[in-house]
């Protein structure tokens, strides 16, 4: 497979006007890194998200927020006072030439400032307008205060995460996921509308509800309730289910962690485990190696066997226990790679700081160097979420400074006239 | 919803045909999304193993004691709105049928292990030979290239290898990781995004392409700020148990946590964003915290987080979680119960008003609710009203209407076991 490095991104030619926000910044980044022209509009004082850490050298400042850097690559920036009639003309001009408007303002707040979505869309029927809000545009909760933590708690994800010990609180999944989930859904829906516009010539409004987005991103918890009215219970490092299961997250000899998959069932896997135990000198400390041999001799076990044959269950459990023993006796990476090279599912609990140094991520070019000419330094950013081999994803530029592209944006508007 | 122009609205993606060999949730979830907007998604399954490529087919949960390949509740939810055909790709006739289907499809999707589809005779080059502008989207754990491309994964493996699991837990404890396959949902979402962006591009230029998705890379972008921070600030490697994901991540907030409420395993999340939230919290609780010197400024409260959490937890412990959440929200403080499935599905005004749990009627399972979508489009909204296909349910329609085979030809293929 070759990626055509110089080709434009798949969304080249698409014009997006994004009102700077916390909740939809990731959607704007998806568009921008895929080649769309994304113009970010900020208040003259800078958007408050510029105050979100961490910061370059741990020194806060509007141009030093790494949160801002991460979520605003490849965008151009203009600062506008939307209450100033002169500046409003600039906004109107930008919206007038846009395919998509992306915003995450509280419902009704733009209208109170004279930015009337319905009126604008009536004048531009081909415009696609995406609104991202915690609880949607309508309903009694639409203006309720919310953060990532409270959204994740109220919409289901938190209930499923935590520890076997239920005296400990359930846990929020890390990484700003309420906004991440919502932003990818906002981008998907905008592209649906864009494809549809190709046939009808018409745009439309997209109402994204973050609470709903998280609710339908909880996998087994929702399905078990809807289908069987069962309530899942959180379990350390593994799936929440209506019943407790055996641990799969194992501390390795170097203090790291690995997560095992379903224990193997194939005869060849049982043989691999036996061989590896032998190689590691662990056979003697694992009396159930005879059960593993039995599993080899009987040709493995099937899922059906597990439901009716106690010997098969013994084999299955011995496989799981042997994997746990191996994991506890090796370094986390050695264990991860060793199991996988033997065709057995295993994952390593990497910290985000490990990603850029992993040979696989490196070989695929995931760590992405981005030059900051203003600092004369180059930093490593996360790469493409999806590799388009014909129309590459790329970070065209670092996140913009406040009002950085004012002159060129105004010049574009002027030349359009 | 009616078209303002007066025309009858059609599905937003009507006219787009997807030849879908994907499964589980990481693949099936993407084409489910496309089907909800009117794409014709034809799910290709294996007759020999009765669709056993997809381990979710037939798996728990079940509506009652009945089991079997048509009874899987998750499979139904992940595959609503699709057509289903069976083709034995071990046979040359089966491969020819798939080739015919690809010729009349806009998109081919699969999430086999890396290289499997190519080994079957369906490399991207071979797909292109069948249809030059084909959009081919492959989705596997580590992508189609690189040293780990053959590694096997499922959701928790992806979440581990991308940093998501490590970051999720309480300080002083091993990582809690994620209690579900978050990345199956997000992998599916990014896969759908890949399809859609490639369709936009094809519609503009006429060119198709291969989209190679590594679910692990999609996952790693979701800890992006931390990846960037590690490089920019040369952070030393953190030890497991050194992060606390119930505390505020990137902006200072305290109190910020999940606190016990009265009752068995009942919890309340509270986040004080700023001084105004703090003052409001102090007013609601009436505990006099505002006069405590150690809690005076935001910086003080951050420094005294352990003590503050103990105080807040002592207040919440005897309260009703819903009443406390309502009181705090009314005062402007972000708060939420830790919602159980029943809370958010049966007793939540927002999800109910949204229509988030549409019902489908499955011929074997019966009437059952499934996940809806978190967006509403004002003109061409999604529709979920058809269940997952039973195995081979649409063989006649697809072979006959789509591929133009005669009744006799279809019967012959079925008799030979190709279907």
Domain limits of chain B?
17-221+355-416, 256-346
Q: Dihedral of the CA atoms B363, B366, B371, B377 (nearest 10)? A: 70
What is the number of residues in chain A?
Answer: 417
Question: Which residue among A1, A344, A360 sits closest to B144, beta carbon to beta carbon?
Answer: A1
Which chain A residue is nearest to residue B263, measuring alpha carbons? A167
Q: Do A149 and B258 touch (CB under 8 A)?
A: yes
Q: Dihedral of the CA atoms B365, B369, B375, B379 (nearest 10)? A: 70
Can you tell me the distance from the alpha carbon of A239 to that of B78, in angstroms, rounded to the nearest whole number?
A: 18
**pLDDT (mean) for A337-359:** 96
Taking all residues of chain B, what is their mean pLDDT, rounded to a whole number? 96
CB A240 within 8 A of CB B340: no
Residue A129 φ/ψ, nearest 5 degrees: -120, 120
Provide the ipTM: 0.97
How many angstroms from the chain centroid is the CA of residue A247? 26
Can you tell me the distance from the alpha carbon of B394 to that of B419, in angstroms, rounded to the nearest whole number?
A: 11
**pLDDT (mean) for B241-269:** 96
In the structure, what pLDDT confidence band is assigned to residue A401 with cuts at 50, 70 and 90?
Answer: very high
Q: What is the model's pLDDT at position B10? A: 67
How is residue A2 written in tokens?
């070759």
Q: Is the dihedral of CA A39, A43, A44, A47 positive or negative?
A: negative
**pLDDT (mean) for B149-171:** 97
Chain A residues in contact with B15 (beta carbon < 8 A): 199
Taking all residues of chain A, what is their mean pLDDT, rounded to a whole number? 96
Chain B residues in contact with A188 (beta carbon < 8 A): 33, 189, 192-193, 196
Which chain B residue is nearest to residue A177, measuring alpha carbons? B222
Can you tell me the distance from the alpha carbon of A53 to that of B235, in angstroms, rounded to the nearest whole number?
A: 14
Residue A363 φ/ψ, nearest 5 degrees: -65, -30
Testing the interface with A: which of B66, B77, B152, B197 to mutate, by most A Cβ within 10 A? B197
More confident residue, B363 or A1: B363
pLDDT tens digits, A122-154: 999 999 999 999 999 999 999 999 999 999 999
Question: Which residue among B60, B177, B211 sits closest to A386, beta carbon to beta carbon?
Answer: B211
Residue B338 φ/ψ, nearest 5 degrees: -80, 105
In the structure, what pLDDT confidence band is assigned to residue B8 with cuts at 50, 70 and 90?
Answer: very low
Q: Does B147 touch chain A (CB under 8 A)?
A: yes
Chain A residues in contact with B164 (beta carbon < 8 A): 173-175
pLDDT tens digits, B187-223: 999 999 999 999 999 999 999 999 999 999 999 999 9
Q: Does A307 touch chain B (CB under 8 A)?
A: no
Q: Do A219 and B185 touch (CB under 8 A)?
A: yes
In the structure, what pLDDT confidence band is assigned to residue B2 with cuts at 50, 70 and 90?
Answer: very low
Can you tell me the distance from the alpha carbon of A374 to that of B337, in angstroms, rounded to the nearest whole number?
A: 45
Q: Is the pLDDT of residue A364 over 90?
A: yes
Q: What is the model's pLDDT at position A262? A: 85
DSSP-derived secondary structure letter, B238 = P
**pLDDT (mean) for A341-368:** 97
Q: Does A353 touch chain B (CB under 8 A)?
A: yes
**pLDDT (mean) for A15-37:** 98
**pLDDT (mean) for B303-331:** 98
Q: What is the model's pLDDT at position B363? A: 97
CB A31 within 8 A of CB A14: yes
Which chain A residue is nearest to residue B144, measuring alpha carbons? A1
Write the class of the CATH domain B256-346: alpha beta
Can you tell me the distance from the alpha carbon of B162 to that of B300, in angstroms, rounded to the nearest whole number?
A: 34
Q: Is the pLDDT of residue B14 over 70?
A: yes
Question: Which residue among A54, A218, A261 sits closest to B233, beta carbon to beta carbon?
Answer: A54
CB A388 within 8 A of CB B195: no
Question: Which residue among A172, A176, A195 sits closest to B13, beta carbon to beta carbon?
Answer: A195
Using only C-alpha atoms, what is the Rg of chain A?
A: 26
Q: Is the pLDDT of residue A392 over 50?
A: yes
Which chain A residue is nearest to residue B60, measuring alpha carbons? A224
CA distances, B245 to each of A16, A168, B147, B175 (Å): 33, 13, 31, 10
In the structure, what pLDDT confidence band is assigned to residue A407 with cuts at 50, 70 and 90?
Answer: very high
Q: Does B146 touch chain A (CB under 8 A)?
A: yes
Candidates A1, A248, A80, A297; CA nearest to B143 is A1
Q: Do B167 and A180 touch (CB under 8 A)?
A: no
**pLDDT (mean) for B246-256:** 94
Q: Is the pLDDT of residue B109 over 80?
A: yes
In the structure, what pLDDT confidence band is assigned to residue A8 with cuts at 50, 70 and 90?
Answer: very high
CA distances, A94 to each of A16, A84, A108, A191 (Å): 9, 15, 21, 20
Q: Do A205 and B377 touch (CB under 8 A)?
A: yes
CB B328 within 8 A of CB B321: no
Q: What is the model's pLDDT at position A1? A: 62
Q: Does A191 touch chain B (CB under 8 A)?
A: yes
Q: Is the pLDDT of residue B4 over 50?
A: no
**pLDDT (mean) for B69-96:** 97
Using only C-alpha atoms, what is the Rg of chain B?
A: 26
Q: Is the pLDDT of residue A6 over 90?
A: no
Q: Do B342 and A231 touch (CB under 8 A)?
A: yes
B263 CB-contact burial (10 Å; exposed 0-12 / middle 13-18 / buried 19+): exposed
Q: What is the model's pLDDT at position B52? A: 87
Calculate what percentage of chain B has a pLDDT beyond 90. 96
Question: Which residue among A54, A145, A174 sits closest to B332, beta carbon to beta carbon?
Answer: A145
Report the gap between the CA of B77 and the closest CA in chain A (Å).
Answer: 8
Chain A residues in contact with B208 (beta carbon < 8 A): 390
B381 CB-near residues (< 8 Å, 6+ apart): B1
Helices (H), A41-103: 66-71, 85-96
Which chain B residue is nearest to residue A391, measuring alpha carbons? B209
CA distances, B121 to each of B91, B99, B116, B117 (Å): 11, 10, 9, 7
Q: Does A291 touch chain B (CB under 8 A)?
A: no
For residue A312, the SS3 value is helix
Chain B residues in contact with A220 (beta carbon < 8 A): 74, 180-181
Strand ranges of the sheet holding A249-251, from the earlier edge strand across to the other edge: A249-251, A257-260, A346-348
Can you tell me the distance from the alpha carbon of A79 to that of A94, in angstroms, rounded to the nearest whole number?
A: 13
Q: Does A52 touch chain B (CB under 8 A)?
A: yes
Question: Which residue among B13, B73, B245 sits closest to A174, beta carbon to beta carbon?
Answer: B245
Chain A residues in contact with B203 (beta carbon < 8 A): 195, 198
Q: What is the model's pLDDT at position B3? A: 36
User: Which CATH number does B17-221+355-416 carry?
Assistant: 3.40.50.10540
Q: Is the dihedral of CA B375, B380, B386, B391 positive or negative?
A: negative
Report the gap between the CA of B220 and the closest CA in chain A (Å).
Answer: 7
């Amino acid at each position: 497979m070759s990626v055509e490095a110089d080709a434009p991104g798949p969304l080249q030619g698409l014009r997006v006007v994004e009102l700077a926000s916390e909740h939809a910044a990731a959607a704007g980044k998806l568009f921008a890194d895929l080649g769309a022209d994304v113009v970010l509009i900020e208040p003259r004082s800078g958007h408050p998200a510029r105050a979100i850490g961490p910061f370059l050298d741990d020194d806060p400042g509007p141009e030093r927020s790494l949160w801002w850097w991460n979520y605003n690559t490849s965008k151009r920036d203009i600062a506008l006072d939307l209450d100033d009639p002169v500046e409003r003309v600039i906004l109107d001009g930008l919206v007038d030439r846009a395919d998509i408007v992306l915003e995450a303002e509280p419902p009704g707040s733009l209208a109170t400032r004279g930015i009337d979505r319905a009126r604008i869309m009536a004048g531009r029927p081909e415009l696609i307008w995406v609104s991202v809000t915690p609880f949607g545009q309508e309903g009694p909760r639409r203006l309720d205060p919310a953060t990532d933590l409270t959204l994740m708690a109220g919409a289901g994800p938190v209930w499923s995460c935590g520890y076997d010990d239920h005296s400990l609180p359930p846990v929020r999944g890390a990484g700003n996921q309420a906004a991440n989930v919502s932003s990818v859904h906002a981008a998907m829906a905008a592209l649906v509308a864009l494809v549809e516009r190709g046939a009808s010539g018409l745009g439309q409004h997209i109402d994204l509800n973050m609470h709903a987005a998280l609710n339908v991103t909880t996998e087994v918890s929702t399905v078990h309730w809807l289908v069987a009215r069962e309530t899942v219970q959180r379990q350390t490092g593994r799936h929440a289910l209506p019943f407790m299961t055996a641990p799969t997250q194992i501390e390795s000899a170097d203090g790291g962690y690995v997560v095992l998959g379903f224990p193997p069932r194939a005869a060849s896997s049982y043989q691999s485990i036996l061989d590896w135990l032998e190689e590691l000198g662990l056979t003697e400390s694992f009396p159930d190696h005879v059960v593993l041999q039995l599993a080899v001799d009987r040709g493995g076990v099937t899922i059906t066997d597990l439901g009716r044959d106690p010997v098969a269950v013994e084999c299955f459990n011995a496989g799981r226990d042997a994997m746990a023993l191996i994991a506890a006796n090796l370094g986390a990476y050695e264990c991860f790679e060793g199991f996988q090279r033997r065709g057995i599912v295993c994952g390593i609990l990497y910290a985000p700081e490990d990603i850029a140094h992993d040979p696989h991520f490196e070989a695929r070019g995931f760590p992405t160097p981005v030059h900051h000419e203003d600092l004369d330094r180059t930093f490593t950013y996360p790469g493409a979420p999806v590799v388009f081999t014909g129309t590459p994803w790329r970070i065209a530029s670092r996140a913009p400074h406040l009002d950085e592209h004012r002159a060129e944006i105004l010049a574009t508007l002027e030349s359009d006239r | 919803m009616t078209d303002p122009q007066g025309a009858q609205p059609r599905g937003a993606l009507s006219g787009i045909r997807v030849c879908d060999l994907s499964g589980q949730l990481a693949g099936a979830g993407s084409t489910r999304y496309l089907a909800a907007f009117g794409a014709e998604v034809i799910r290709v399954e294996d007759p020999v193993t009765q669709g056993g490529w997809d381990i979710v087919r037939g798996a728990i949960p079940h509506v009652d004691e009945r089991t079997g390949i048509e009874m899987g509740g998750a499979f139904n939810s992940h595959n609503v709105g699709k057509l289903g055909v069976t083709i034995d790709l071990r046979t040359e006739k089966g491969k020819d049928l798939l080739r015919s289907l690809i010729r009349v499809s806009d998109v081919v999707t699969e999430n086999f292990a890396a290289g499997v589809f190519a080994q079957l005779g369906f490399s991207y080059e071979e797909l292109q030979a069948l249809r030059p502008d084909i959009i081919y989207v492959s989705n596997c754990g580590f992508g189609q290239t690189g040293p780990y491309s053959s590694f096997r994964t499922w959701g928790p493996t992806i979440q581990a290898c991308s940093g998501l699991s490590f970051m999720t837990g309480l300080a002083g404890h091993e990582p809690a990781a994620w209690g579900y396959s978050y990345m199956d949902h997000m992998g599916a979402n990014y896969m759908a995004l890949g399809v859609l962006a490639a369709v936009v591009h094809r519609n503009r230029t006429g060119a198709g392409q291969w989209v190679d998705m590594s679910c692990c890379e999609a996952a790693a972008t979701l800890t992006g700020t931390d990846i960037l921070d590690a490089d920019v600030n040369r952070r030393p490697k953190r030890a497991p148990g050194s992060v606390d994901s119930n505390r505020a991540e990137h902006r200072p907030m305290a109190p910020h946590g999940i606190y016990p409420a009265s009752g068995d395993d009942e919890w309340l999340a509270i986040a004080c964003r700023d001084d105004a939230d703090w003052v409001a919290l102090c007013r609601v609780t009436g505990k006099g915290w505002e006069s405590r010197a150690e809690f005076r400024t935001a910086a003080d409260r951050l420094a005294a987080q352990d003590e503050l959490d103990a105080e807040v937890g002592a207040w919440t412990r005897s309260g009703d979680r819903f009443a406390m959440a309502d009181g705090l929200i009314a005062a402007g403080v972000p708060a939420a119960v830790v919602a159980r499935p029943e809370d958010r599905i049966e007793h939540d005004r927002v999800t109910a008003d949204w229509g988030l749990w549409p019902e489908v009627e499955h011929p074997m399972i019966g009437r059952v609710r499934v996940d809806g979508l978190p967006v509403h489009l004002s003109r061409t909204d999604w529709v979920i009203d058809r269940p997952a296909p039973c195995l081979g349910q649409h063989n006649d329609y697809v072979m006959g209407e789509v591929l133009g085979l005669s009744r006799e030809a279809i019967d012959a293929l079925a008799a030979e076991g190709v279907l």
